[in-house]
């Protein structure tokens, strides 16, 4: 179970990387085609949308990798036990914030879906497609930060 979940997070990170590469290729293609008088109008909007997906897919994976950077001046000067305690608290708080964003992001996704909203750019797509990325990313991040809290709690006990 644990392993399957970790693999899933790795896939999220991997897809994020593929999307960045796709953006590079798509924008290059657009520039080259424009040179010959054609223009791929969708590239601009799709790239913007993918930037959101890149961020949201990377979010839970980075959480597991402890890649969301923090100021470690105080933490580095605490005893291991106290550092673990503090880590439990901050990770719980982060998880709570993630849950809140997941909830409100979920509501705005449902809203966009039920009212059939589209974006207001040059190329149109249903808005729920972009909005759903936020509850997805933050929902998984909430789980991840709860797991990190549990990890630190165990570490704190064993010290």
Residues 6-25, interacting with another protein (CB under 8 A): 13-14, 16-18, 20-21, 23-25
Residue number with CB closer to another protein (48 or 154): 48
Does 4 contact another protein by CB under 8 A? Answer: no
Among 7, 8, 31, 150, binds another protein (CB under 8 A): 31
Does 27 contact another protein by CB under 8 A? Answer: yes
Among 11, 81, 107, 150, binds another protein (CB under 8 A): 107
Please tell me whether residue 118 adopts helix, strand or coil conformation: strand
Does 152 contact another protein by CB under 8 A? Answer: no
Residue given tokens 């520039």 in the structure block:
31
CA nearest neighbour of 50 among 19, 17, 25, 21: 19
Which residues between 35 and 74 bind another protein (CB under 8 A)?
35, 37-39, 41, 43-45, 47-49, 51-52, 54-55, 57-59, 61-62, 65, 67-74
Q: What are 28-37's contacts with CB under 8 Å, separation 24+?
A: none
Region binding another protein by CB under 8 A among candidate stretches 1-9, 93-101, 151-159:
93-101
* DSSP state letters, 64-107: HTT-S----TTGGGS-HHHHHHHHHHHHHHHHHHHHHHHHHHHH
Q: How far is the CB of 40 from another protein (least distance, A)?
A: 10
Kindly provide the b/e burial profile for residues 120-150, where b requires at least 16 CB atoms within 10 angstroms of the residue's own CB.
eeeeeeebbbbbbbbbbbbbbbbbbbbbbbe
Q: How far is the CB of 3 from another protein (least distance, A)?
A: 19
Among 7, 118, 150, 159, binds another protein (CB under 8 A): 118
């Amino acid at each position: 179970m644990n392993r399957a979940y970790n693999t899933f997070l790795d896939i999220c990170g991997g897809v994020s990387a593929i999307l960045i590469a796709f953006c590079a290729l798509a924008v290059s293609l657009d520039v080259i085609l424009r040179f010959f008088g054609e223009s791929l109008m969708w590239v601009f909007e799709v790239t913007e949308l993918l930037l959101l997906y890149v961020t949201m897919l990377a979010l839970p994976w980075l959480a597991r990798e402890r890649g969301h950077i923090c100021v470690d001046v105080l933490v580095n000067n605490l005893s291991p036990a106290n550092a673990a305690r503090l880590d439990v608290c901050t990770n719980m708080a982060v998880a709570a914030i993630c849950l809140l964003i997941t909830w409100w992001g979920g509501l705005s996704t449902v809203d966009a879906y039920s009212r059939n909203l589209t974006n207001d750019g040059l190329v149109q797509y249903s808005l729920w497609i972009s909005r759903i990325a936020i509850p997805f990313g933050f929902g998984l991040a909430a789980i991840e930060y709860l797991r990190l809290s549990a990890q630190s709690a165990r570490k704190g006990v064993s010290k």
